[in-house]
Amino acid sequence: MKVLGIESSCDETGVALYDTERGLLGHAVHTQVAMHEAYGGVVPELASRDHIRRLIPLLERVLAEAACTRRDIDAIAYTAGPGLAGALLVGASFAEALAMALGIPALPVHHLEGHLLSPLLADDAPVFPFIALLVSGGHTQLMRVTRVGDYQLLGESLDDAAGEAFDKTAKLLGLGYPGGPALAKLAETGNIDPKTSRYKLPRPMLHSGDLSFSFSGLKTAVLTAARARELTDADRADLAAEFQEAVTEVLAAKAVAACRQHRLSSLVVAGGVGANRRLRQRLDRAMAKIGGRVFYPALELCTDNGAMIAFAGSQRLLQGDVPAATKGAFAVRPRWPLDRLN
């Protein structure tokens, strides 16, 4: 069965073709980062218009790469939420219209379910059940994943998501948009030796005894440090490094705590912040200590893409989930909790 995946929830247009027998046949992503850069963040209306421009060329590219035609597609999975309403509507209407024209089913998919299952696309995939740490621009969540479609929320951020905290702090340090990767790069040159580091930031909720997170205070702490005096380049690198230490220490500690509480030895990490090297280092070490292992999606599948949507859709179809006949009527869900999938 060949499933086409369409992702358009934010500032990346992703299209992919996944074959349940042969794996990923083709995938292509267009990122709008350069277009939104001038505004310091995503402009929803521009995002929607750009998705419209990109979808058909991306589809042609993926079909060529897969050596397939439209007639070879058996079903279309698309991101129905959460995300920007207009951007979601572009992908949803494209997918629904194409499915109707081809006489095949269209399947709405939850964006975070896509991220969550993306490590299963790797050759060395985890087996159920496992704990998942979802760290993206909009979400920081720990989930227990029992099987496809069965997700129990264990804890989440009470305010900013980890990626959002990275982006906002990067902006404070003058690193532009999207700041996460730039901040991480700068952090690698900073001093993280607790004995000699000039900055000490809080580790929010590290000892809260639950699996909740809070990251908005960190950004304020960085702002206070930045206002205290004119920052040199070395100061900025040290602040970035200490910020990254604080976020990754809390994320790693809580992810391991979730694994211990549920007596599970597999941890899956998904979402854009999962690309962070320091986070990976800490998680690998901490999980090894309890005899566990961490599974990551391929780096290119950490950020938004169509492959994870095609894959999540295919797993639902294999499981016998029959998409409702929409007769051309469909909806998107800009807000959509993952533990309320159906």
Q: Which residues bind ligand KG4 (CB under 6 A)?
A: 10, 136-138, 163, 166-167, 178, 180-181, 184, 271-273, 275-276, 303-304
Decide which of Zn ion, ligand KG4, none touches 336; Cβ closer than 5 to 8 Å per partner kind.
none
Nearer to ligand KG4, 160 or 235 (CB): 160
- Work out whether 315 is an interface residue with Zn ion (CB under 5 A): no
* Structural contact between residues 87 and 10, judged by C-beta atoms closer than 8 angstroms: yes
The single-letter code of the amino acid at 116 is L
Nearer to ligand KG4, 105 or 108 (CB): 108
Query: Minimum distance between the CB of residue 271 and ligand KG4, rounded to whole angstroms?
Result: 4
Decide which of ligand KG4, Zn ion, none touches 315; Cβ closer than 5 to 8 Å per partner kind.
none
Number of H helices, E strands in the chain: 10, 10
Nearer to ligand KG4, 44 or 181 (CB): 181
The Cα–Cα gap between 190 and 282 comes to 17
Query: Minimum distance between the CB of residue 327 and Zn ion, rounded to whole angstroms?
Result: 30
- Work out whether 13 is an interface residue with Zn ion (CB under 5 A): no
Query: Minimum distance between the CB of residue 249 and ligand KG4, rounded to whole angstroms?
Result: 14
Query: Minimum distance between the CB of residue 32 and ligand KG4, rounded to whole angstroms?
Result: 12
Query: Minimum distance between the CB of residue 150 and Zn ion, rounded to whole angstroms?
Result: 21
Query: Minimum distance between the CB of residue 110 and Zn ion, rounded to whole angstroms?
Result: 11
Say how far residue 33 (Cα) sits from the centre of its chain.
16
Decide which of Zn ion, ligand KG4, none touches 11; Cβ closer than 5 to 8 Å per partner kind.
none
Three-state SS string over 30-52 comes to: EECHHHHHCCCCCCHHHHHHHHH
Decide which of Zn ion, ligand KG4, none touches 248; Cβ closer than 5 to 8 Å per partner kind.
none
Nearer to Zn ion, 173 or 332 (CB): 332
Q: Give the CA distances from residue 263 to residues 132, 151, 266, 291, 312, in Å, rounded to whole numbers and listed in that order.
A: 13, 16, 9, 11, 26
Query: Minimum distance between the CB of residue 135 and ligand KG4, rounded to whole angstroms?
Result: 7
* Structural contact between residues 265 and 293, judged by C-beta atoms closer than 8 angstroms: yes
Q: Interacting stretch for Zn ion, rule CB under 5 A, among 23-31, 129-137, 199-207, 318-326?
A: 129-137
Nearer to ligand KG4, 19 or 169 (CB): 169
Phi and psi angles of residue 84, each rounded to the nearest 5 degrees, phi first: -80, 130
The single-letter code of the amino acid at 216 is S
Nearer to Zn ion, 154 or 275 (CB): 275
Residue 292, SS3 per DSSP: coil
- Cis upstream peptide for 57 (omega within 30°): no
The single-letter code of the amino acid at 12 is E
Nearer to Zn ion, 11 or 304 (CB): 304
Nearer to Zn ion, 113 or 245 (CB): 113
The dihedral through the CA atoms of 75, 81, 84, 85 has a sign that is positive
Decide which of ligand KG4, Zn ion, none touches 26; Cβ closer than 5 to 8 Å per partner kind.
none
Residues 254-313 that bind Zn ion (CB under 5 A): 304
* Structural contact between residues 109 and 244, judged by C-beta atoms closer than 8 angstroms: no
Query: Minimum distance between the CB of residue 137 and ligand KG4, rounded to whole angstroms?
Result: 3
Give the containing element (helix H, strand E) for 87. Answer: helix 85-102
* Structural contact between residues 51 and 6, judged by C-beta atoms closer than 8 angstroms: no
Nearer to Zn ion, 136 or 276 (CB): 136
- Work out whether 136 is an interface residue with Zn ion (CB under 5 A): yes
DSSP assignments along 52-67, one per residue: HHHHHHHHHHHHHHHT
* Structural contact between residues 95 and 5, judged by C-beta atoms closer than 8 angstroms: no
The Cα–Cα gap between 285 and 204 comes to 21
Q: Which residues of this chain interact with Zn ion, rule CB under 5 A?
A: 136, 304
